[in-house]
């Protein structure tokens, strides 16, 4: 009789990944966040959305900063909400940015290019991967985009380089229209440029953000047009007056 084989060692990346989830389960809602359009939703990849698939990369070099890439990333995670532009509120879990956790978002969408956001949206993203130098968030169905954003810091010849890379497509036809005709894409690009500039400023660097975008797939995926039923902006638009009325009636 032979001895059973010892169990295979866990892969080195095992602790960095979230567990597979059929539905998002919200365990705790940070103060100020609205648990809407997240709990019970499924997460969606760049393959499930409707619009053209874009990869957008934003980078800022931090010359003169002697902090390690991991320490820059630690600062970034700890101050993630503070680096957002006005009107864009992120609520990470109190326990920190960990795989499987939800980062709630309270923001607005524009109605015309160049104008500030006016349409409220309450949603969130799920952290699917996190290590010392990077983390990735994936969107739930109903979110404006279907896909993920990766935030990373690398060391390039002794200079820390912070990067945001999105790989996503608009989730439904309304979002696709808003993204490219109402200024949504422009606002999104300004957001990540603002975040990287704020991160650089934290380290005393006047950051010059470089952006590179490439359309990986210009085709619309009409089979995904039905995602419209889960549109978080429309749901938030109808939810907020009801929530305000309920609050008023309770008084």
Partner 1 sequence: MSKPNLRLSVRPLGGGCCAIDLFGEVTAFAENSLMDAYTQATGAGATTLLLNFSGLEYMNSSGIGLLVTLLIRANRHTPRQRLLAVGLSEHYRQIFELTRLNEAIGIYATEAEALAA
Q: Which residue number, 52 or 111, has a Cβ lying nearer to partner 1?
A: 52
d(CA 11, CA 236): 41
Q: Structure tokens of 51?
A: 């619009």
Closest CA to 123 of 35, 192, 22, 187: 35
Q: Which residue number, 47 or 245, has a Cβ lying nearer to partner 1?
A: 47
With CB under 8 A as the contact rule, which of the stretches 4-12, 73-81, 90-98, 200-208 interacts with partner 1? 4-12
Q: Does 152 bind partner 1 (CB under 8 A)?
A: yes
DSSP state letter for 193: H
* Residue indicated by tokens 């002697």: 66
Distance of closest approach, residue 225 Cβ to partner 1, in angstroms: 18
d(CA 160, CA 144): 31
Question: Pairing between strand 134-140 and 145-156?
Answer: antiparallel
d(CA 233, CA 144): 8
Q: Which residue number, 106 or 224, has a Cβ lying nearer to partner 1?
A: 224
Q: How many alpha carbons fall within 13 Å on the CB side of residue 86?
A: 2
Distance of closest approach, residue 86 Cβ to partner 1, in angstroms: 29
In angstroms, the Cα distances linking 108 to 86, 117, 236 are 10, 5, 10
User: How many residues are listed for the chain in this entry?
Assistant: 251
Judged by CB under 8 A, the residue of 35, 68, 88, 150 near partner 1 is 150
Distance of closest approach, residue 188 Cβ to partner 1, in angstroms: 18
Judged by CB under 8 A, the residue of 167, 179, 182, 187 near partner 1 is 167
Contacts with partner 1, 193-232, as mask; x by CB under 8 A = -----------------------xx---------------
Residues from 108 through 147 that contact partner 1 (CB under 8 A): 128-129, 131, 133-136, 138
Q: Does 251 bind partner 1 (CB under 8 A)?
A: no
Judged by CB under 8 A, the residue of 1, 5, 19, 242 near partner 1 is 19
Phi-psi label, residue 145: left if phi above 0, alpha if psi -120 to 50, beta otherwise? beta
Q: Binding residues for partner 1, per CB under 8 A?
A: 8, 10-14, 16-21, 43-48, 53, 55, 128-129, 131, 133-136, 138, 148, 150, 152, 154-155, 165, 167, 216-217
């Amino acid at each position: 009789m032979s001895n059973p084989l010892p169990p295979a060692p866990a892969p080195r990346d095992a602790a960095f990944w979230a567990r597979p989830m059929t539905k998002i389960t919200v365990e705790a809602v940070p103060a100020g966040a609205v648990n809407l359009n997240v709990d019970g939703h499924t997460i969606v990849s760049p393959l499930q959305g409707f619009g053209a698939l874009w990869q957008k990369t934003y980078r800022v070099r931090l010359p003169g900063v002697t902090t390690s890439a991991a320490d820059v990333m630690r600062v970034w995670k700890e101050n993630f909400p503070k680096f957002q532009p006005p009107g864009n509120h992120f609520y990470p879990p109190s326990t920190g940015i960990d795989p499987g956790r939800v980062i709630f978002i309270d923001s607005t969408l524009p109605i015309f290019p160049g104008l500030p956001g006016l349409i409220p949206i309450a949603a969130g993203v799920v952290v699917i991967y996190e290590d010392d130098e990077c983390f990735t968030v994936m969107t739930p169905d109903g979110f404006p985009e279907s896909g993920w954003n990766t935030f990373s810091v690398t060391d390039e010849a002794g200079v820390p380089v912070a990067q945001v890379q999105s790989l996503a497509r608009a989730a439904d036809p309304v979002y696709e229209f808003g993204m490219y005709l109402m200024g949504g894409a422009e606002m999104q690009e300004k957001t990540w440029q603002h975040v990287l500039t704020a991160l650089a400023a934290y380290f005393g660097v006047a950051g010059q953000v470089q952006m590179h975008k490439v359309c990986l797939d210009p085709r619309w995926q009409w089979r995904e047009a039905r995602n419209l039923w889960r549109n978080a902006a429309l749901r938030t638009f109808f939810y907020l007056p009801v929530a305000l009325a309920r609050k008023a009636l309770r008084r």
